[in-house]
C-alpha cells in the first residue's frame, strides 16, 4: 500500500521517535545534576541513642506498704520504670542551632530516645556547645560539651554520646 | 455510560493526537501506544538477562561491590559495561513505558467499571519497580548509593516502625554491612519474584494476553538502548565514604526523584505526597463510579456448546462446563457476571445470532446482552436500512467507544450503534445487504485499539474467514468495508465513506436493474 518514498518517510519518523526516546533517557538518567552541598560547606550531625534516667529514685517499701501487696509481689524495693525526658540545646558559634525535648517513648515511657539532627555549616573552625539534661532529679543540664572544631569541606562531622564519656567527636 | 465529557475530553484528545502521531510513524501494527504493556515486559527481559550477566561478576559485599562494578564498567566495557548500561537504560525506559501505559489507560477511559481490577493491580507494580531501581542503585555502593542509603534510612526513620534510628546506625557504620546483604537479597530475588507475581495478577482477568511486542518494535527498542549504551556508558560516582557527603550527584530522575524532594521539603511531606498520589490513583476507578451494562446471559435452548464465545471473550468471563440441561451436546458455557464487561462480543460470536432465523418472532441466541439483545440489533438494522432512500445507501455499524456513527446520518447513510463492533455476527451484514443496503461499513475503534481489546479485530478476522463464525462466501465483499476511527477522526471517516460510496455507485451500475429488485424483494425475510 505504501510506495517506497512513503515507507522511507515512515522510517524517518520512527528514527525521530526513537531519538526522542533515547534523548529522554540520556538526559534524565543523570541530569540535571543535583548539588547537595556548596563547595565550602560541610555537615554537622548530632546522632546518638540515649535513655534518660529513671524519673523517681527507688524507695524502700515500709512494712505497711508491703502488707498491702499480694504475697508474691512483696519486693522490698519499689522502682518505677518511667524515664526522664531528654532536653538538648546546641549552640554553634554562640547561636542556637538546635533545641529539642524528647519524651521517653514506649507505653510506660521507659525506652531510650534517638536524637538525630543534621545541619549544613560552612567549612572551617567553629565553636560547638552542647548541653543535655537527662534527669528530672538533677538540677539543670547535667551533661555538657564545649569545643572548637575544625571541619573540612564535604566532611560529615559526627557528634555522638557515649555512656561514661559524654559527648564525643566520632 | 459515556465518559464524563468535561474531565475526559481534553486528556483523551491529547492522547488520541499522540496516538495518531505514532500511527503515522509506526503504522497501526507497530504503534508503541498499543504495546506499552508488552514493551514493558520486553524491557523486563532485557533487565533480567543483563542482570544475570552482571550478577556473575558482581561482588556482593560492601568492600567488593564498588570495585567489581568498576571492573565491569572499565576493564570489561565491551561486554559487561554494555550489559550494565543496558540494565540501567532498560530500567529507565520501563518507567517511561509504564507511565505512558498508565496515562493511556486513563485517557482512553480504560480504568473504571469492570477494569478496576487491572487498574488497581497495576499501581503496586509501579511502586515496586521504583523500589527495585532504588535497591539497584544501592548495590553500586558509590556516592550515589550512599545518598540513596542515607535518604532511605531517613524516610524509614520518619515512620513510626523502627525503634532505633537507622540513620544513626548507618552514619556510625553499624548495620551498613548487614543492610547491604538485605538490599542485595531484595534486588536480586525478593523484589523480582514479587514483581512477577504482581504481573501475573495484573493480567489474570484478560484472555489472549500477549506479552511480546511486535518484532519490529522490539528490535527498534533494543537497538535504541544499545546505541545509547555505547555513546553514553553508565558509570559510577566515587566510592561511598560515610564520613563525607558527596557534593554534586548525577541523579537518575526516573527513580530517585523523591530524595531531593525530601531534602527540599521534609521526610513527612514526601510521604504524604506519595500517599496522596497513590490513594487518588487507587480510588480513580470509583470517582465517579461507573456501571457497566448487565452481564451477558446464556440461553441453553440456543446453545450447542461450540465454544466460539468462550474463545472470543476478551475478559475471561466465560467458562465451559459439562452440559446440564440434558441436551444432546457435550458442553455448555457459563458467564461469570463479576468478570463480564457487557461488551457483547460473545453475542457476535454465537452461530445462533443469525438474523435470518426466527424471521417472524423474537430472535433468540445462545448468549446475549439483556440490554441490547440480538433481536433489537436486528430490528435497528432493518429500520436503518429501510429508512435510506439514496442511490448508494450505506449502513454504518459503529460502537459506543469509537466514532459516533449517528453523526453522519442522512438519507443515504444511517448508523447503528452497538456497544462494540465485535457484536456484529457476520450474518447481520448479509442481512443488511439482503434488505437493501448497498454497502455496510463497520466503524469500530481505531485498528488495534478496541475499547474491549479484540472487538474490531475479531470482526476483521470473521470477515476475512480467519476466525469463526466466518462471513459466508456468497456475501459480496465489495460491499463491505471495515474502517476504524476514534471520536476525533470524522474527517478521515467521511473521506473513506465518500470513496466507498463512489465504488458502490459503480458496482450498482454494473448490475442489471432486475437483480437489484431481487435484492430488495428479500427485505421481508
Ligand atoms: C510494569 C508495569 C506494567 C506492565 C508490564 C503492564 C502490563 C500490562 C499488560 C501486558 C496488559 C494487557 C494488555 C492487553 O493485552 O490488552 C495490561 C493491561 C492493563 N494495565 Fe498494565 N502493566 C503495568 C503497569 C500498569 C499500571 C501502573 C497501571 C495503572 C495503574 C496499569 C493499568 C492497566 C490496565 C487498566 C489494563 C487493562 C487494559 C485492558 O483491559 O485492555 N498497568 N498491562
Ligand atoms: S459480554 Fe463481553 S465480557 Fe461479557 S461474556 Fe460476553 S464477551 Fe465476555
Ligand atoms: S457461541 Fe453460542 S452456541 Fe457456541 S458455546 Fe457460546 S453460546 Fe453456545
**Domain of residue A139, CATH code:** 2.60.40
Residue A96 CB-half CA count within 13 A: 5
pLDDT of A84 strictly over 90: no
Task: State whether A52 and A120 are in the same domain.
Answer: yes
* Cα-to-chain-centroid distance, residue B5: 22
pLDDT at B113: 93
- Residue nearest atom 2 in ligand 3 by C-alpha distance: B350
Task: State whether A99 and A141 are in the same domain.
Answer: yes
Q: Give the H/E segment covering residue B126.
A: helix B116-139
Task: State whether A25 and A92 are in the same domain.
Answer: no
List strand residue ranges (DSSP E) for B6-91, in order. none
Q: Give the H/E segment covering residue B320.
A: strand B318-322
Q: Considering only CB atoms, which chain B residues are within 8 Å of A16?
A: 25
**A1 CB near a chain B CB, below 8 Å?**
no
Residues in chain B with pLDDT < 50?
Answer: 1-7, 516-525
Q: Is residue A79 part of a domain?
A: no
Task: State whether A21 and A51 are in the same domain.
Answer: no
pLDDT tens by residue, A104-163: 777 777 777 888 888 899 999 999 999 988 887 888 888 888 999 999 999 999 888 888
pLDDT at B510: 87
State the DSSP string of A77-128: EE----B--EEEEEEETTEEEEEEEE---STTS-S-EEEEEEEEEESEEEEE
Q: Are B221 and B100 in contact (CB under 8 A)?
A: no
pLDDT at B430: 96
- What SS3 class is residue B210? coil
Q: Which of A25, A37, A105 sits opposite B247 (nearest CB)?
A: A37
Distances (CA, A) of B381 to B376, B378, B463: 8, 5, 18
Q: Is residue A74 part of a domain?
A: no
Relative to the CA of B120, which ligand 1 atom is closest?
A: 30
pLDDT at A1: 43
How many Å lie between the centroid of ligand 3 and the Cα of residue B310? 8
Task: State whether A111 and A30 are in the same domain.
Answer: no
Rounded Cα distance, B516 and A22, in Å: 59
How many Å lie between the centroid of ligand 1 and the Cα of residue B337? 22
pLDDT tens by residue, A5-37: 688 888 999 999 999 999 999 999 999 999 989
Q: Is residue A75 part of a domain?
A: no
**Reported pTM:** 0.89
* Sole residue written with cell 540535571: A32
Domains along chain B with CATH numbers:
11-286 (1.20.810.10), 297-522 (no CATH)
Distances (CA, A) of B292 to A166, B242, B341, B398, B418: 69, 57, 6, 18, 14
> Domain total for chain A?
2
Q: Is residue A128 part of a domain?
A: yes
Q: Is residue A140 part of a domain?
A: yes
Interface of B with A (CB under 8 A): 22, 24-27, 32, 88-89, 92-93, 96, 147, 157, 163-165, 167-168, 171-172, 220-221, 223-225, 227-228, 232, 234, 242-254, 260, 263
Q: Across the interface, do A29 and B252 touch by the CB < 8 Å criterion?
A: yes
Q: Is residue A8 part of a domain?
A: yes
Q: Is residue A73 part of a domain?
A: no
- What SS3 class is residue B454? coil
Q: Is residue A64 part of a domain?
A: no
What count of other Cβ atoms lies within 10 Å of the Cβ of residue A72?
Answer: 6
Q: A2, A13, A21: which to substitute to probe chain B, counting the most B Cβ within 10 Å?
A: A21
Tell me the residue range of the domain where A25 lies: 1-34
Residues 6+ apart with CB under 8 A from B346: B296, B309, B312, B313, B318, B335, B367
- Contact B341 CB / ligand 2 (< 6 Å): yes
Task: State whether A45 and A11 are in the same domain.
Answer: no
Phi, psi of B320 (to 5 degrees): -105, 135
B480, three cell numbers: 463491505
Task: State whether A122 and A89 are in the same domain.
Answer: yes
Residues 6+ apart with CB under 8 A from B432: B381, B385, B395, B440
Q: Are B264 and B169 in contact (CB under 8 A)?
A: no
Residues 6+ apart with CB under 8 A from B452: B314, B315, B341, B343, B345, B401, B419, B420, B422
Q: Across the interface, do A156 and B245 touch by the CB < 8 Å criterion?
A: yes
Task: State whether A30 and A94 are in the same domain.
Answer: no
Task: State whether A90 and A150 are in the same domain.
Answer: yes
Task: State whether A46 and A2 are in the same domain.
Answer: no
Task: State whether A49 and A4 are in the same domain.
Answer: no
* Sole residue written with cell 546483604: B181
Long-range contacts from B166-171, C-beta under 8 angstroms, 24+ separation: B167/A47, B167/A116, B168/A47, B168/A48, B168/A49, B168/A114, B168/A116, B170/B242, B171/A45, B171/A47, B171/A156, B171/A158, B171/B242
Identify the burial level of B440 via C-beta atoms within 10 angstroms of its C-beta, where 0-12 means exposed, 13-18 middle and 19 or more buried: buried
Strand A41-50 and strand A156-162: the pairing is parallel
> Where residue A47 falls among pLDDT bands split at 50, 70, 90?
confident
- Contact B115 CB / ligand 1 (< 6 Å): yes
Task: State whether A15 and A51 are in the same domain.
Answer: no
Rounded Cα distance, B209 and B193, in Å: 20
Relative to the CA of B349, which ligand 2 atom is closest?
A: 7
How many Å lie between the centroid of ligand 3 and the Cα of residue B448? 25
Amino acid at each position: 500500500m505504501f510506495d517506497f518514498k512513503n515507507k522511507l518517510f515512515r522510517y524517518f519518523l520512527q528514527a525521530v521517535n526513537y531519538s526522542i526516546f533515547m534523548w529522554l533517557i540520556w538526559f534524565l538518567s543523570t541530569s540535571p545534576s543535583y548539588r547537595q552541598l556548596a563547595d565550602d560547606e560541610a555537615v554537622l550531625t548530632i546522632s546518638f541513642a540515649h535513655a534518660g534516667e529513671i524519673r523517681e529514685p527507688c524507695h524502700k517499701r515500709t512494712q505497711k506498704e508491703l502488707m498491702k501487696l499480694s504475697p508474691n509481689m512483696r519486693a522490698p524495693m519499689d522502682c518505677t520504670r518511667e524515664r526522664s525526658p531528654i532536653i538538648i540545646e546546641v549552640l554553634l558559634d554562640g547561636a542556637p542551632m538546635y533545641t529539642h525535648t524528647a519524651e521517653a517513648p514506649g507505653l510506660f515511657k521507659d525506652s531510650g530516645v534517638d536524637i538525630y539532627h543534621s545541619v549544613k555549616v560552612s567549612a572551617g573552625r567553629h565553636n560547638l556547645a552542647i548541653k543535655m539534661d537527662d534527669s528530672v532529679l538533677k538540677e539543670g543540664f547535667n551533661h555538657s560539651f564545649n569545643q572548637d572544631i575544625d571541619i573540612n569541606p564535604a566532611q560529615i562531622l559526627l557528634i555522638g554520646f557515649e555512656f561514661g564519656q559524654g559527648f564525643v567527636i566520632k | 455510560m459515556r465518559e464524563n465529557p468535561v474531565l475526559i475530553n481534553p486528556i483523551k484528545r491529547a492522547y488520541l493526537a499522540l496516538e495518531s502521531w505514532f500511527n503515522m510513524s509506526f503504522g497501526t501494527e507497530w504503534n508503541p501506544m498499543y504495546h506499552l504493556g508488552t514493551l514493558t515486559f520486553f524491557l523486563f527481559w532485557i533487565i533480567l538477562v543483563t542482570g544475570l550477566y552482571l550478577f556473575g561478576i558482581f561482588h556482593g559485599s560492601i568492600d567488593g561491590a564498588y570495585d567489581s562494578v568498576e571492573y565491569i564498567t572499565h576493564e570489561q566495557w565491551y561486554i559487561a559495561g554494555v550489559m550494565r548500561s543496558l540494565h540501567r537504560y532498560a530500567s529507565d525506559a520501563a518507567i517511561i513505558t509504564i507511565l505512558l501505559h498508565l496515562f493511556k489507560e486513563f485517557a482512553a477511559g480504560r480504568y473504571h467499571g469492570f477494569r478496576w481490577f487491572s487498574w488497581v493491580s497495576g499501581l503496586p507494580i509501579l511502586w515496586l519497580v521504583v523500589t527495585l531501581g532504588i535497591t539497584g542503585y544501592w548495590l553500586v555502593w558509590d556516592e550515589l548509593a550512599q545518598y540513596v542509603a542515607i535518604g532511605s534510612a531517613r524516610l524509614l526513620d520518619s515512620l513510626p516502625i523502627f525503634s532505633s534510628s537507622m540513620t544513626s546506625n548507618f552514619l556510625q557504620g553499624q548495620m551498613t554491612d548487614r543492610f547491604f546483604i538485605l538490599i542485595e537479597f531484595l534486588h536480586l530475588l525478593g523484589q523480582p519474584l514479587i514483581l512477577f507475581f504482581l504481573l501475573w495478577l495484573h493480567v489474570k482477568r484478560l484472555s489472549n494476553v500477549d506479552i511480546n511486542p511486535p518484532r519490529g518494535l522490539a528490535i527498534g527498542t533494543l537497538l535504541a538502548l544499545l546505541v545509547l549504551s555505547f555513546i553514553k556508558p553508565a558509570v559510577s560516582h566515587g566510592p561511598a565514604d560515610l564520613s563525607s557527603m558527596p557534593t554534586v550527584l548525577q541523579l537518575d530522575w526516573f527513580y530517585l526523584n523523591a530524595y531531593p524532594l525530601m531534602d527540599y521539603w521534609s521526610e513527612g511531606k514526601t510521604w504524604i505526597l506519595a500517599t496522596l498520589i497513590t490513594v487518588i490513583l487507587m480510588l480513580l476507578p470509583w470517582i465517579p463510579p461507573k456501571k457497566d451494562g448487565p452481564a451477558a446471559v446464556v440461553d441453553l435452548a440456543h446453545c450447542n456448546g461450540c465454544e466460539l464465545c468462550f474463545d472470543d471473550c476478551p475478559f475471561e468471563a466465560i467458562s465451559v462446563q459439562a452440559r446440564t440441561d440434558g441436551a444432546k451436546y457435550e458442553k455448555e458455557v457459563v458467564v461469570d457476571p463479576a468478570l463480564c464487561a457487557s461488551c457483547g462480543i460473545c453475542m457476535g460470536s454465537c452461530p445462533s445470532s443469525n438474523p435470518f432465523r426466527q424471521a417472524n418472532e423474537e430472535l433468540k441466541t445462545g448468549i446475549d446482552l439483556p440490554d441490547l439483545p440480538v433481536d433489537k440489533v436486528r430490528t435497528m438494522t432493518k429500520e436503518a436500512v429501510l429508512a435510506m432512500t439514496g442511490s448508494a445507501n450505506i449502513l454504518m455499524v459503529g460502537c459506543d467507544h469509537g466514532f459516533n456513527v449517528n453523526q453522519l446520518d442522512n438519507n443515504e447513510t444511517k448508523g447503528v450503534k452497538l456497544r462494540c463492533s465485535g457484536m456484529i455476527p457476520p450474518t447481520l451484514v448479509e442481512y443488511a445487504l439482503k434488505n437493501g443496503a448497498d454497502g455496510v461499513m463497520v466503524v469500530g475503534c481505531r485498528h488495534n485499539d478496541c475499547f474491549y481489546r479484540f472487538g474490531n479485530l475479531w470482526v476483521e478476522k470473521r470477515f476475512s474467514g480467519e476466525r469463526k463464525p466466518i462471513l459466508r462466501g456468497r456475501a459480496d465483499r465489495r460491499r463491505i468495508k471495515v474502517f476504524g476511527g476514534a471520536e476525533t477522526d470524522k474527517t478521515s471517516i467521511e473521506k473513506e465513506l465518500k470513496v466507498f460510496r463512489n465504488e458502490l455507485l459503480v458496482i450498482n451500475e454494473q448490475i442489471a436493474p432486475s437483480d437489484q429488485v431481487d435484492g430488495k424483494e428479500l427485505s421481508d425475510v
